[in-house]
Amino acid sequence: MSKIAEAFKNGKAFIPFITCGDPDLETTAKVVREAVKNGADLVELGIPFSDPTAEGPVIQGANLRALEGGVTTDKVFDLVRGLREDVTVPMVFMTYANVVFSYGAEKFISTCKEIGIDGLILPDLPFEEKEEFLPLCRQYDVNLISLIAPTSENRIAMIAKEAEGFIYLVSSLGVTGVRSEIKTDLGSIVEVIRANTKTPVAIGFGISTPEQAKKMADISDGAIVGSAIIKILAQHGRDAAPYVGEYVKSMKDAIR
């Protein structure tokens, strides 16, 4: 059983997304610990990238702030080493294929294993090209997380059959960001996924309120929230940790 499966074994999982180094790495460490203390079951850590194509303006802004603050992949690895001294929940990286390529794929993925990263989400890696990284991920026991979008249509079953860790179901078309409502018929997509795999599926993109989180968790195995957390960080900066903790608690309570 992959360590990621543990995040889903106690009911619905709440998964916060945090951009590493926004506003600085010390704050990121505090925010991660506070999120876990308040019920986060798995933490998705964003490695900043200069051209994050899947992200809306909120997370793009976080990427730029982190890069301007001098965050590098090596510094993010060190952050995780520190977190792993006391954080036991699964953690995954969300970044772009280019970041992994430019670092050196084997060096990147073997370091993930060494520091205790359980999975890797690469939104710009098409399913058909995952062989670029999959053998290395398997070699070092790092789950390569598959994304399924409303546009995946006839590929949903195929992607689901080969998925590992968990499936990231993208709730709506477009980029990440807070949405007032999610209109996609996700229930029918989840049905296709469930018919083809036992791998848990969590829904992300656009979830910001406890009501939305509950609605998404009711039809899947968990909810992923990014932009709403990044907004709290943008608002409170280095003092954001307790506010993120409160928010995470409200979301986790809603999906219980």
Per-residue pLDDT, averaged over 63-90, amounts to 97
Q: Is the pLDDT of residue 94 over 90?
A: yes
- pTM (2 decimals)? 0.94
The mean predicted confidence, pLDDT, of the chain is 93
User: So what CATH class is 3-255?
Assistant: alpha beta
Q: Is the pLDDT of residue 197 over 60?
A: yes
Q: What angle do CA 155, 1, 30 make, to 5 degrees?
A: 95
Q: Which two tokens stand for residue 125?
A: 């890696």
Residue among 188, 210, 183 at smallest CA distance from 201: 188
Q: Is the pLDDT of residue 174 over 60?
A: no
Per-residue pLDDT, averaged over 172-178, amounts to 57
Q: For the beta carbon of residue 114, count every other beta carbon within 10 angstroms.
A: 12
- Could you read off the pLDDT of 120-144 as tens digits, one per residue? 999 999 999 999 999 999 999 999 9
Q: Is the pLDDT of residue 179 over 60?
A: no
Report DSSP letters for the chain, one per residue. Answer: --GGGGGGTTSSEEEEEEETTSS-HHHHHHHHHHHHHTT-SSEEEEPP-S--TT--HHHHHHHHHHHHTT--HHHHHHHHHHHTTT--S-EEEE--HHHHHHH-HHHHHHHHHHHT--EEE-TTS-GGGGGGTHHHHHHTT-EEEEEE-GGGGGGHHHHHHT--S-EEEE-SSSSS---S---S-HHHHHHHHHHH--S-EEEESS--SHHHHHHHHHHSSEEEE-HHHHHHHHHHGGG-HHHHHHHHHHHHHHH-
Residue among 44, 9, 46, 3 at smallest CA distance from 141: 3
CB 8 within 8 A of CB 223: no
Residue among 245, 239, 236, 171 at smallest CA distance from 204: 171
Select the more confidently predicted residue: 61 or 180.
Answer: 61
Question: Binning pLDDT at 50, 70 and 90, where does residue 172 land?
Answer: confident
The CB-side HSE value for 244 (13 A sphere, CA atoms) comes to 34
Per-residue pLDDT, averaged over 199-227, amounts to 95
Select the more confidently predicted residue: 83 or 154.
Answer: 83
What pLDDT sits at residue 187? Answer: 92
Local structure of residue 12 (DSSP, 8 states): S
